[in-house]
Chains A and B, each alone.
Chain A
């Protein structure tokens, strides 16, 4: 029962090799024994998991047909609401906050009988690339405990990688599913903006955020994506998807390699492994050509203007009045000032300050508006490229997992972790990080970017490496 994928676990349940309760207990015990050294989980939801598993076992013993996700244990990033369970966002300001309802994606998973094992660690409010910005404890990379799991969905990626769950949910604002998936050696999908409802995801940067699956195989990512995607009237940016399973003929496939994504200073082992992966698909018959995304070098600056601007507006809701940490003070203004200063960590404060600055009178045009215009140019780059190619291959990250503490003191060097992933969020495209090799013992991920709503296609392509 080790390292079960969703399809394998489903098969095991159908063949009565094990019950949902046994499977759930196996994971809960593993979490209790092994998570001390990884710290992937912030909350373990034993009671919820056991009761969900029992319900599925009842269906099985009644000989009812069960959906593929029934009885399959998952972990949920702690910025996604699960009714009655703490949702801390790894922040002191929400340390004791209990979710009053289910996020739409959780509702969609509970309905077919998913088993929720617990909530996973993240950089506070999903702001970071290493999970070191968690207010509670950093998560460690299961492949090397001296290294970070990436971030911000570091807890989810580490939990899947260490086999503490069958799959997990993460959220991706500038790479927060793909980069930790790459660092931990698992599959991470950031869906097209609008493919998955954001209702019940604690808002960070609303024009960039998407929920997506972190899994052991590309097939599992397809299964979870199918379950959580679709139109939701509670998120007016969500859309109904028409595409179902697609078959991909590798011989007809045109793959673009953007020359701007093979930069000076990137890890040579990573570059070698990515080049080998490209060669592999070429040998199977896909056409590979060099393309150019000329505005790539501005992507990170644009992202680090738009994202904090939206975050500074979204995080204005933490006022010490409605919910969350509240400091008593002499008047209302001081309740705000003290609650927010006491509740937010350094990185969150830094981004709120940055966003407030970029949106403030006198700087709006020079920073925020300018960034939104360059965003248009970045989008044009991708539009042009996708006229010629079906998918774009890049490294997910210029380097493998770095050491704990290595970048924490230098915000700009930490921000560079998002250099290959952030542009994708700016233009809303789907992208997957697929493990394609190891630099020493550290996993390396290949990023496959697709056209809007072609999640299934890029996941089919990923299976070449599965």
Chain B
């Protein structure tokens, strides 16, 4: 069972402003899901490497795909649409709450 304090901490890390009732609900639900994961304790993984990506073995040579660190220009219509999507803006700038006082 994970504690209420831990649940609150996780919610804060996840940037979810949960209500007290939600914290209680998720505390219970997460505990039961985490309990299910105890199944994995049975598996011996000593000397086993992790697989972070399904392509790691099938297509190894394709894993490291790099491009030049150069900005690619986009058509102005697309740029306008991206700016248009922002909830708060001033002309062509996206407004964000001040980070520093």
Contacts and interface: CB of A to CB of B under 8 A. Distances in A.
Say whether A and B bind each other: yes
Contacts of B36: 301, 304, 412
Nearest to B22: A349
Interface in B4-51: 6-7, 10-11, 13-19, 22, 26, 29-30, 32-34, 36-37, 39-40, 43, 45, 48-51
Nearest to B11: A353
A354 interface: yes
Nearest to B57: A379
B76 interface: no
A320 interface: yes
Contact of B26 (A97, A101, A194, A350): A350
B42 to A, nearest CB: 8
Given A298-B40, A376-B48, A304 B85 contact: no
A236 interface: yes
Interface in A206-246: 207-208, 236-237, 239
A207 B33 contact: no
Contact of B55 (A237, A320, A349, A425): A237
Nearest to A320: B87
A82 B58 CA distance: 31
B99 interface: yes
Q: Is the interface of A mostly helix, strand, loop or mixed?
A: helix
B97 interface: yes
Contacts of A370: 40, 43, 45
B71 interface: no
Contacts of A316: 15
Nearest to A329: B97
Contacts of B34: 357
Nearest to B64: A236
Contacts of A383: 57
B16 A302 contact: no
Contacts of A302: 40
Interface string A309-334: 00010001001111111100101111
A338 B11 CA distance: 12
Interface string A76-108: 000000000000000000000110110000000
B96 A321 contact: yes
Contacts of B48: 373-374, 376-377
B40 A349 contact: no
Nearest to A331: B97
Given A376-B49, A377-B48, A297 B78 contact: no
Contacts of A335: 97
Given A301-B36, A301-B40, A370-B40, A356 B87 contact: no
3 tightest CB-CB pairs across the interface, nearest first? A428-B54, A337-B17, A372-B50
28 contacts: A98-B81, A194-B55, A194-B59, A207-B52, A207-B53, A239-B59, A304-B36, A305-B37, A312-B14, A316-B15, A321-B96, A323-B86, A323-B87, A334-B17, A335-B97, A338-B17, A341-B17, A352-B14, A352-B16, A353-B16, A360-B10, A372-B51, A376-B49, A376-B50, A411-B29, A411-B33, A412-B33, A426-B54
